């Protein structure tokens, strides 16, 4: 799994397009081993190094308001804030990332309030969809900064991705073949979820 597939990692070499910079890549383990590969499988988690403008919705975590946490206070003009004038605590979104232990290479999960996801080919297929969408429309799927990362608003938009949002975005794609391909790549139900399914989808 490339894990951080984006335009900056594609370059032309000798007349051919090639991927570069695989420092974020992790191995794919689609089948369970007999024990020899289990340690490697434990290390193969998505999220160690990503650009959030190209990660799929399932890698975004939106925490629920914690009970007992003071709510955001809305004040009336000229009034002192009162407990009754409150709304639920503002939620923030974050990518499901982690750091690896320097000795074992295993993900450090202490303190995380989300479950890490295993490396999966479908994540790269979403990233590819983001790249192709930009090529087809001239616009990014989500507005990002110079480091290809989303702000809080963009992360929330990504986390809430659904059929309605997809249809709105794909309405800008004029080529029907490209629109059909993007419809598959940008949908968690139809994205290729194994290496064997990638070729038929992209051919």
Question: Would you say 94 and 60 are in contact if contact means Cβ atoms under 8 Å apart?
Answer: yes
Q: What is the pLDDT of residue 165?
A: 96
> pLDDT > 90: what percent of the chain?
39
Query: What value does the mean pLDDT of the chain take?
Result: 80
Return the structure tokens found at 2: 């490339």
Q: What is the pLDDT of residue 85?
A: 43
Domain 7-31+39-64+94-202 has CATH 1.10.510.10: yes
CA–CA distance, 78 with 98 (Å, rounded to integer): 45
Q: What is the pLDDT of residue 173?
A: 97
β-strands 86-87, 16-19 pairing: unpaired
Domain spans of the chain, in order of start:
7-31+39-64+94-202
Q: What is the pLDDT of residue 73?
A: 35
CA–CA distance, 130 with 51 (Å, rounded to integer): 12
* pLDDT tens string 57-105: 999 998 876 534 433 333 333 343 444 444 444 457 889 988 888 888 8
Confidence label for 197 from pLDDT (cuts 50, 70 and 90) = confident
Confidence label for 141 from pLDDT (cuts 50, 70 and 90) = very high
- Which H or E element spans position 176? helix 176-185
* pLDDT tens string 146-182: 999 999 899 999 999 999 999 999 999 999 999 999 9
| pTM, two decimal places | 0.78
Residue with the bigger pLDDT between 38 and 135: it is 135
């Amino acid at each position: 799994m490339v894990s951080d597939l984006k335009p900056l990692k594609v370059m032309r070499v000798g007349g051919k397009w090639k991927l570069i910079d695989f420092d974020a890549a992790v191995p794919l383990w689609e089948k369970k081993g007999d024990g020899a590969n289990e340690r490697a499988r434990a290390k193969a988690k998505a999220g160690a190094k990503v650009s959030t403008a190209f990660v799929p919705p399932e890698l975004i975590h939106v925490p629920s308001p914690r009970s007992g946490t003071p709510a955001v206070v809305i004040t009336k003009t000229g009034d002192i804030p009162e407990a009754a004038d409150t709304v639920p605590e503002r939620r923030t979104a974050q990518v499901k990332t982690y750091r690896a232990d320097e000795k074992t290479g295993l993900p450090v999960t202490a303190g995380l309030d989300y479950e890490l996801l295993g490396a999966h080919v479908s994540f790269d297929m979403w990233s590819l969809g983001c790249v192709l969408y930009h090529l087809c429309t001239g616009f990014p799927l989500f507005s990002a900064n110079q480091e290809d990362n989303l702000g809080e608003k963009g992360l929330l938009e990504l986390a809430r991705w659904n059929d309605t949002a997809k249809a709105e975005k794909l309405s800008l794609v004029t080529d029907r073949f490209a629109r059909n391909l993007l419809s598959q790549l940008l949908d968690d139900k139809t994205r290729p979820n194994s290496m064997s399914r990638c070729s038929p989808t992209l051919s």
